[in-house]
Chains A and B, each alone.
Chain A
Amino acid sequence: MSTDDRDDLGPLEPGLDKLFRVLTSGPSRDELAGEQDAVTMFRTARQSAGPPRPATTQRAERRARQRNWGIRRTIAVATVAFVAGFAAAAYAEVLPAPVQHVAYKVLGFAGVPDAPAQHNQPQSGRTSPASAPAGSGSSQSATGRSSSPASSPSPSRSRTSSPRPGSSTSTAPPPPPQLSAAASQSQIAAGGSVTITGSATRHGTGARGVSVTLQELTARHRVWTTVTQGKTGRNGQVALTVSDLTVNAGFRVTAAGSVPSAPVLVTVVPQVTASVLTRPSGRRAVIKVVCLYAQPGNVVVLEVYRAGVWVPVRAHRIGGLLKTGFVVKVPLTKTRTLQVVLRATRLHAKAVSNEVTVGPRV
C-alpha cells in the first residue's frame, strides 16, 4: 500500500510510518518459498476442472447419478430387512447353533439368548448333540483353526506390504540432518575474513557428505542470500570462509530438507585513523579523521582523556570521502590525549581510532 492509500488514516507519526513501511516491505525469500507448491496446486486444479462440458453430457451424468441413487436405495432397504429378519430369528432361537452364538455375541446385550453348550460342534444344536463324539468337535475346531491361517490372506498381505528389513535400510532416505553454525570470530576488522563452521548431525553424530549452503543476511540486502556452498566432511563439519566482509551480517547454513541453522551474527569494525596537523600559528591543531568502511553521514565523536576517563567533546558527521576534521586548541603547557570514536550503526560496530596528542605549545 502506498502512502497515498493511507490518507484517511491521517498524518502518521514517524514511528508508525516506519512500522507500516516495514509491514509492507518487500517479500522475504521465506515468504515466497511455497511458489512451486502454489503453481502445482493451480495446475492440478485446472486439470481436474478440465474443459467445459456440453449440457448433454451433464444431463447424462445426472441421469446416471439418479440411477445410482435408486440402486443404493434398494440395497439399503434389503439390508435393513435382512438385519431385522436375522434379529427376529435370533430372538426366536430358530437359527443354527453357531449362527445363534454369533447372534448372541452381537445382540446379547439386547437379550438374544446364546446357543446351547454344544455350539462348538459343527452340527446343529437340535440334531443329537449327545451323539457327537467329544473329540470330533475339538478336532473340527482345531481343523478350523488350522485352516484359518492358511485361508486368511491377512498374514501374507502383511508380509508383502511391509518392506524387508534389508531393503528398508538400503532404500529408505536418511532423515534430514540437524544443522548448526558457528563463527570463528563474532567481530572482525572491516574487510577481513571470517570462517563459519557448519555442522550437520543425525542422531547426535556427524553426518558426512551433506551439501550445505551458507547464507548471509545484511542490512543492505535484507534477504537471506547464498554466499557459498560446501559438503560436510567425516566429522559432519564444513568450514566456509567469507572474505571481504564490510558490513554486519548474520550467517546460517541450510541443506535440502533441513531446518536452517540458528543464525550467528558477525559484526565488523571499520578502521578509524586519527592524525594531528598543527597549524602554522601553533595555537590550533586539526585532528584529521579517516574512516575506512564507514558510510557517509556516520557520526564520529572526538574524546579527550581526563581524570582517567574518555570524555566526549565534539561530534561530526563524516563526508562523502569518509573523512572529517576537528579543530582543537593546543594547550600551552599540557599535553592532551585525544581519540575519535565512530558510532555503531546497523552496518558496523563501534570503532575507536588510535590515540593522538596535542601540545604543549612551549
Chain B
Amino acid sequence: MASDFGVLDDALSRASSGDETGFLQLWRSMQPRLLRFLRVLGCVDAEDVASETWLQVVRDLHRFSGNEEDFRRWLFTIGRHRAIDAARASRRRPAASAPVGAEALTSIADTQQVEDQVLDGLSVSAAIGLLAGLSRDQAEAVALRVIAGLDTQAVAQVLGKSTGAVRVALHRGLRALAGDPAVRALAAAAGTGSQAFEEVDS
C-alpha cells in the first residue's frame, strides 16, 4: 500500500476523465486507509461512511484539479466531514445507532483474538484501537499523518488548524502512544529472543 503513493497521478487523471480502471486503482489504493482513518475517528459503520465519501468523490471528480497528494487531502477531508455528519446523525437517533447485538460483539471479539493470536500479536484493528484511544485532536493528527500519509501542512489544512498546533498534537500523540503498555510490549517483543537466549546461556 505504501508504494502506491506517488504513482497514482496517472490513475487520477484517467479517473477524472471517466476511466473506470483509473478509478479502481485509486479506490484500491485509498479505500483501506480511508476505512482505517474512519475507524480511528470512531465511525460505527465505517464502510457506509466510506461509501458516502466515494459517492461525493465520483460526483465531483470531474471538477477536481490537482495531483495525487491534493486528491488524498480532498478525499480525507470529505471522509472526515462525512464521519462528523454520521456521528451527529447517530446522536440524533441513538436507537438506530445501536450497532450490533451481543452475539455479533462476541463474534467480533473472537475474531480479534484469533487474528491477534495468528498474526504477530498486533492486528490492524488492535493498532487502530490504540490510535483511537488518544484524544480526538491527537488521534486525528496521527491518523492523517500516518494512515493517510499527509504531510503536516496538509493535515493542518484538513483539520483547519495551524501547522504548529498540528505538530504539538502529533508530538503529544506519539508520546502517548510510545508510553502505551501495548506499544512498549511490541518494542520489548522485538528483543525478547536474544535477551532470553543470553540469560539462559549464561
Contact = CB atoms under 8 A, between A and B. Distances in A.
B106 A262 contact: yes
A1 B5 contact: yes
Interface in A134-172: none
B135 interface: no
Given A1-B2, A35-B28, A315-B200, A49 B62 contact: yes
Interface in B90-149: 104, 106-107, 110-111, 113-115, 117-124, 127-128, 130-131, 145-147, 149
A202 interface: no
Nearest to B46: A31
Interface residues of A, number: 58
A23 B20 contact: no
Contacts of B121: 346
A317 B183 contact: no
Contacts of B28: 27, 32, 35
Contacts of B124: 22-23, 25, 28
Contact of B187 (A15, A25, A346): A15
Nearest to B121: A346
B200 A314 contact: yes
B45 to A, nearest CB: 12
B54 A41 contact: yes
Interface string B159-202: 00000000000100010011000011111101101001100110
Nearest to A25: B124
A312 interface: yes
A252 B108 CA distance: 12
B118 A32 contact: no
B197 A23 contact: no
B118 A6 contact: no
Contacts of A16: 174, 177-178, 183, 187
A42 B28 CA distance: 13
A74 interface: no
B76 to A, nearest CB: 13
Interface of B: 1-3, 5, 15, 18, 20, 23-24, 27-28, 31-33, 35-36, 47, 50-51, 54-55, 58-59, 62, 104, 106-107, 110-111, 113-115, 117-124, 127-128, 130-131, 145-147, 149, 151-152, 170, 174, 177-178, 183-188, 190-191, 193, 196-197, 200-201
5 contacts: A23-B124, A24-B2, A314-B200, A314-B201, A346-B117
Nearest 5 CB-CB pairings of A with B: A15-B187, A1-B149, A27-B32, A15-B183, A250-B114
Given A19-B177, A42-B20, A299-B196, 14 more contacts: A5-B149, A14-B190, A15-B183, A19-B122, A22-B124, A23-B128, A39-B27, A42-B23, A218-B118, A265-B114, A312-B200, A346-B117, A346-B119, A346-B120
